[in-house]
Amino acid sequence: MSTYADLSAAELDTLRAQLEEEYAGYKAKGLKLNMARGKPAAAQLDLSMPMLDILSSDADYKSADGTDCRNYGVVDGLPEAKEFMASMLDDEAENVIVFGNASLNIMYDAVARCWMFGTLGSTPWGRLDTVKWICPVPGYDRHFGVTEAFGIEMITVPMLADGPDMDEVERLVAEDESVKGIWCVPKYSNPGGVTYSDEVVERLANMECAADDFRIFWDNAYCVHHLYDDVADQDHLMDIGDACIEAGNPDRYFKFASTSKVTFPGAGIAAMAASPENVADIKKRMGVQTIGHDKLNQLRHVRFLRDAEGLARHMAKHAAIVRPKFELVCEKLEAGLAETGCGSWSNPRGGYFVSFDAPAGTAKRIVGLAKEAGVVMTGAGATYPYKNDPADSNIRIAPTLPPLEELEAAMDVFVCCVKLAAVEDLLEA
């Protein structure tokens, strides 16, 4: 079959009529399906239910060092929780601070601290005329929401197959001291599923920055979220901490992770790792903010997941639920679109998303058509700062929440919408 771009106007007209009929059929079904946010399915949440019963007797409320976790105190996390989160953060327990229920607010607070107080004695960013930030695109909409909220000027850099375009990143940080940070989702990125190569990690650690207080915000949200159990089928990421120490820039990174998609989103534990100097600076500020986070939840998590091996076993159960959904999405895209030439997509080995690039200028139309037919997608443009995808092309597909049958129905609608929007676009051209 020829791609749509090769068809004559008459052939496209016929195709449009067929696709409109197919689309009307979906609309008539009154579907109510959602592929908008990266939420675990109920079956995944069920995996962690035993954790809620883990603290059932008086003795269970004490941490390994005898702390009564029902009471105030321990600002930076229980020793065993630091140990556990260190395994997710690829760091040493002493460099870890365990916070509360989720990592996004830690990232917000990290920006806010630099904004109000500076970092390691630097001028508070809020006192500067301009603060700029590097945003690899497509990227995570809530990251962009944080930097936008502070009035930080976001500069986009393309994500390539092995991480951000480092030629661009190096140029930007070298020439402009108002560039203070970069958002990174270094493993199974949101939405592209990209894992940064060793070369990219090393270049980030080594690059010459005009700003001494430049920080890499290393959001390793999907560090243990593999789709496949065999280590050979998993992505591997070089540790940014080691790379920065090696490069002589030990204070350059803030690492973040959480158990949001391990146990319960919004009711997990979240943590940060950084250099001893950064950790001391952060603790000084947060000691004013809080007497301590939820230690009972820290204890529940450690007792339930135990250690890196326990975590890997638990994540394999998630993968068994999630993997068929990702495979279904990719199969549907392949079967429905490969021959048409309408778009390209990622085939990730982990994380929570498939990134779809529609023919330029059609993403908004596709998401609108899908919505009208009862299928809610992430808004077109959401994967770019200011919700502005200049090519109007990228669409984030989040396959985890719907059960398989619903996902299958939703993908049929999506594929039809992509084809219809592509044909309309070609006819208008």
**Closer CB to ligand PMP, 85 or 411, in the complex:** 85
- Those residues with Cβ within 8 angstroms of residue 118's Cβ, 6 or more apart along the chain or in another chain: 124, 125, 213
Q: What is the DSSP string of 38-91?
A: ----HHHHHTTGGGGGS--SGGGGB-TT--BTTSS--TT--HHHHHHHHHHHTS
**Closer CB to ligand PMP, 235 or 425, in the complex:** 235
- CA-angle at 236, arms to 232 and 239, nearest 5°: 155
Q: How far from chain centre, in Å, is Cα 273?
A: 18
Minimum CB distance to ligand PMP, residue 384 (Å): 15
Minimum CB distance to ligand PMP, residue 103 (Å): 3
Minimum CB distance to ligand PMP, residue 1 (Å): 37
**Closer CB to ligand PMP, 85 or 373, in the complex:** 85
Q: Report the interface residues with ligand PMP, using CB under 6 A.
A: 38, 102-104, 140, 185, 190, 219, 221, 258, 260, 265, 270
**Closer CB to ligand PMP, 102 or 245, in the complex:** 102
d(CA 177, CA 179): 5
**Closer CB to ligand PMP, 4 or 353, in the complex:** 353
**Closer CB to ligand PMP, 63 or 103, in the complex:** 103
Minimum CB distance to ligand PMP, residue 398 (Å): 9
Strands (E), 138-235: 153-160, 163-164, 179-184, 215-219
d(CA 137, CA 156): 6
Minimum CB distance to ligand PMP, residue 185 (Å): 4
Report residue 14 as tokens: 């016929």
**Closer CB to ligand PMP, 38 or 343, in the complex:** 38
Q: Are 319 and 229 in contact (CB under 8 A)?
A: yes
d(CA 253, CA 276): 12
In what helix (H) or strand (E) does residue 24 lie, and over which residues does it extend? helix 9-28
**Closer CB to ligand PMP, 107 or 421, in the complex:** 107
Which residue's entry shows tokens 């049958």?
405
Minimum CB distance to ligand PMP, residue 256 (Å): 7
Q: Are 263 and 84 in contact (CB under 8 A)?
A: no
**Closer CB to ligand PMP, 195 or 340, in the complex:** 195
Question: Rounded to 5 degrees, what are φ and ψ at 110?
Answer: -65, -40
Minimum CB distance to ligand PMP, residue 96 (Å): 15
Minimum CB distance to ligand PMP, residue 135 (Å): 13
Total residue length of the chain: 429
Minimum CB distance to ligand PMP, residue 121 (Å): 29
**Closer CB to ligand PMP, 221 or 342, in the complex:** 221
Minimum CB distance to ligand PMP, residue 259 (Å): 8
Which residue's entry shows tokens 């009862």?
374
Q: Identify the three-state secondary structure at position 241.
A: helix
- Scanning 64-165, the segments in alpha helix (DSSP H) are 79-89, 104-117, 141-149
The single-letter DSSP state of residue 309 is H
β pairing state of 179-184 and 33-35 = unpaired
